[in-house]
Structure 1
Amino acid sequence: MVIKHIAQTSADAIPDALDQQEMERVLASLLGSPLFAKSRRMGSLLRFLMEHDLHASSPPLTEHAIGIAVFRRDPAVYCTGDDPVVRVQVGRLRRKLAAHYASNGQQDPVRLSIPPGCYRLAYQRLRPKSPGGRRPILQIQPFTCLTREGDDFTRGLCEELSCRLFECFEHASTGAGHVLMRVPRGSAKVAETDRGGRYSYCLEGSVRVEPARVRASLRLVDVAQGRIRWSAQFDRNQPYGIATQEDLAGSICQSLAGYFARGELDG
């Protein structure tokens, strides 16, 4: 069985059909996600709508049919005009799907939605962000300490962030086309001859350290274009040490990964 009602709602959508196995994978992934794992009613409704699409012989998908099949309404007395359970729950499902794809499901290859005014699911297959299998490379430059004290802290922060970003990009598959982390051994900057070459993006940073305060300033440079694509400052009002390194690295990683996941590097 092949599902063909794919909604092409953006430039990244590819009008392609889904077969039964892919549909089942999409359903299993959604039901196991945080927003659906603890919501049995939403899971049952989603499963029913998808299974309806998988069976050509299914009866017409109506509010009345959904109320009986999913919400166990008595066919003898059930009146959709008096009982809005289907409309309410479909509205909740519509919002949950949107929330899922705005958070944990940002990189799902297929997205589901329920267009207003109907109960049929729409399916959207997303185009990979990096065509041709190319993987942009992110190089982390050694951070610079701008104060008299703090060289060891700065080196430790760079190392902690490198580990966090490697785990995030390599294992969580964020939206920058499976970014590969490359950390230089020395302190040399990326040469001008490398522009447009093997390094796609370069992360640079500086750190200022005071006895009870730390500030890290970072920027992401598009090496080929020589453009700053992202920059941010991170402050901590606490003594510098390993705990502060971990705290800063976690916040920087979350912010940078979120930027990559939004696909803004493609613009």
Structure 2
Amino acid sequence: MLIKRIAGSSAHAVPEPFVREEVERVLAQLLASPLFAKSRRMGSLLGFLVEHDLQVSNIPLTEHAIGIAVFRRDPAVYCTGDDPVVRVQVGRLRRKLASYYTTHGQHDPVRLSVPAGSYRLVYERRSPKVAGAHHPVLQLQPFTCITLDGDDFTRGLCEELSCRLFQSFEQTQTHANHILMNMPRSSLKAAVPARAGRGSYSLEGSVRVEPARVRASVRLIDVAQGRIRWSGQFDRKQPYGIATQEDLAESICRSLTGYFALGSDD
């Protein structure tokens, strides 16, 4: 079985496919790492996703199918709307993979990831690092809550945004610049489009909450020049909770990656 879904491949290049033996070696290395060795659920989920690609990669993979096969849900009564086990565990898997590739697996030649909104693995060959290459830096600063309530929501939004930014930038491969995202409690490497420039950036923001409305204001600061490069306001008319954090983080990340893709003004 050949796996051809490789993130970041050029539209004009024919990517080298992954064969079963190579994919199995990658899986074995992940499962033997400290992050996965003591987590049987994560190992079972990752193994199932890999085996699905090797065996039936043309058949759609659904949340319902994963719940039954991996988490032993009863097909007669299992309802994905009432039981979020697959969404929760796949979210944990995304974070574990991201953590692995910034620690134990930072020099691995092949990277696995699960894009947001999908249950399918993406397989990526990583280019060797160029000695002396310049790496712009993006620092995600803790957001500030400027209303009397909402500190916990604001911290949760930052955590969600840090994961989304890593996933999005990490899967955008170019032949030029890279970016280091210094998140709270972590340092993550990710690729950004070449037009992002060679400076250092700080992503800052504030949050205002009301019982049925949330507003996040976000700014991208060019640290060297001391100027705002990009800004946006994101409103949600819904109670603040995890679903709202996910929704806002996705919108902010999509807007920011769009800014980098189009290029910044000088």
- TM-score tier by shorter-chain length is 0.3 to 0.5
* TM-score using structure 1 length: 0.46
Q: Highest CA radius of gyration, 1 or 2? A: 1
> What is the TM-score of this pair, normalised by structure 2?
0.46
